Structure 1
Amino acid sequence: MHPPRAEGWFAEDLDHLPEAPRHTELIDGSLVFRLWPQRCWHGRLVTVLTTALMQQAPTGFDVEREMTVRLDSRNRPEPDLLLTTTPFDPDRTWFAPEEVSLVVEVVSPESAHRDRTVKLHKYAAAGIPHYWCIEDEEGTPVVHVYELDEPTGAYAPAGIFRGSLHRPVPFEIKLNLDSLTPRRHG
């Protein structure tokens, strides 16, 4: 696949690339493909977390998974989950940052650098109020929570959660983290 212009790829190009694999992201004008098969742990966590957040979300919030966020003309990452306050549109292919209140990335070995650093900075610069980066710690999820500090435009750490998570924002969220994934057997 070759970029359609010398400047590389733009956000709108993702909607016109039928040959691109699923879960293709655009970071700084470059296409990023998932290089390795998704781990079962990752898929199970995203599914169970989606259900848990949907059950707790008040009216006006929707939970979406694996949808891109158009941060600007050269960046359209695809978080594992996002919370939006935009009404459901079955034809939508992306969300704008102002429509997103929380993005969640579940770290995989191949996405670790992007999730921990690149996306952390890009989501903050775009003004998304909340970011969760979830790590696998011996089979159980550990959630690194960040809140946007508006004066600096950067994320401030709001806690590292093991076992359970209780957050008052973007709405009241209570999670038993240990129940999100099955335990590994000896």
Structure 2
Amino acid sequence: MSVEPEPQAPGSRWPVPPRGGWTADDLDQLPDLPPHTELIDGSLIFVSPQTFFHQRAVDFFNWRLGAAVPPGLLVLREFTIDIDWQNRPEPDVVVCHSKVILDHEQTRIPGESVLLAIEVVSKESRSRDRETKPQKYARAKIQNYWRVENNGAGEAIVHVFKLDQDTGAYVGAGIFHNTMKVSAPFPVDLDLTTIMPRPDFTDDL
């Protein structure tokens, strides 16, 4: 059962956490939260405005994986997953078992149903995407984790990790720059150079 939040201080803009922190259930009940709010270790994480690169990269993996996904699996964009009662992160893209979607009003899926979590790194999310979230995803036994980064010139670098069954931690399985060909969680062959428009794209605006 969720703990009732403490009263907000006069003029306070954001919810004041209860003793012990927020829970996964609170994320659906708190009013007026910003879009894509996550729960990490009982704390609400508010997402900063996203860059053009971030939007393009999330769209790319959502559509390209969605076009190749086999029956029985589903690709979801920006959908929260339950890790435990104090952790409900929202990967940028996930691949999960389609049977876990039970109704149209559903707001989350269990972490154990996820086969792949993808995070597109932003300046404000670097430590979470490189350190905190991979630990959470590994604990939930998500077999595959991809971290997508901008090399500074608008070109995507994808770091691929697989869950080591002996240690329960992720191990590197490849770093991809221009093209990406992997077999898990299902075979895909991706042209990463198409994530961003050509350099002179502003001429067409």
TM-score by length of 2: 0.86
Shift of 1:47: 1.0
User: Distance in 2 between the 1:125 and 1:115 partners?
Assistant: 15
The answer to whether the 8 Å contact 1:139/1:183 transfers is no
Distance (whole Å) between structure 1 residues aligned to residue 146 and residue 60 of structure 2: 15
Partner in structure 1 of residue 38 of structure 2: 25
Look up the match of 1:75. 87
Residue 183 of structure 1: CA displacement? 3.5
Q: Percent identity?
A: 45
Matches within 5 A, 1:76-95: 76-87=88-99, 88=101, 89-95=103-109
| Displacement of 1:157 | 0.4
Match of 2:8? none
1:184 CA drift (Å): 3.6
Q: Quick one: distance in 2 between partners of 1:116 and 1:159?
A: 15
Q: Determine whether 1:170 maps to 2:182.
A: no
> Could you say what secondary structure the match of 1:101 adopts?
strand
Partner-residue secondary structure (3-state), 1:158: strand
Of structures 1 and 2, the one with the larger relative CO (CA 8 A, separation 6+) is 1
Distance 2:119 2:21 in 1: 26
For 1:149, the aligned partner's letter is D
Aligned residue runs from structure 1 range 125-140, under 5 A: 125-137=139-151, 138-140=153-155
User: Which runs of structure 2 are paired with 1:1-186 in the superposition (5 Å)?
Assistant: 1-3=15-17, 5-34=18-47, 36-87=48-99, 88=101, 89-137=103-151, 138-185=153-200
For structure 1, the residue ranges without an aligned partner over 5 or more in a row are none
Return the letter of the residue paired with 1:167: V
Aligned residue-pair number: 184
C-alpha separation in 2, matches of 1:23 and 1:171 = 27
Q: Which letter does structure 2 place at the counterpart of 1:129?
A: Q
Give RMSD over aligned pairs: 1.3
Structure (1 or 2) with the larger CA radius of gyration = 2
Gaps spanning 5+ residues in structure 2: where? 1-14
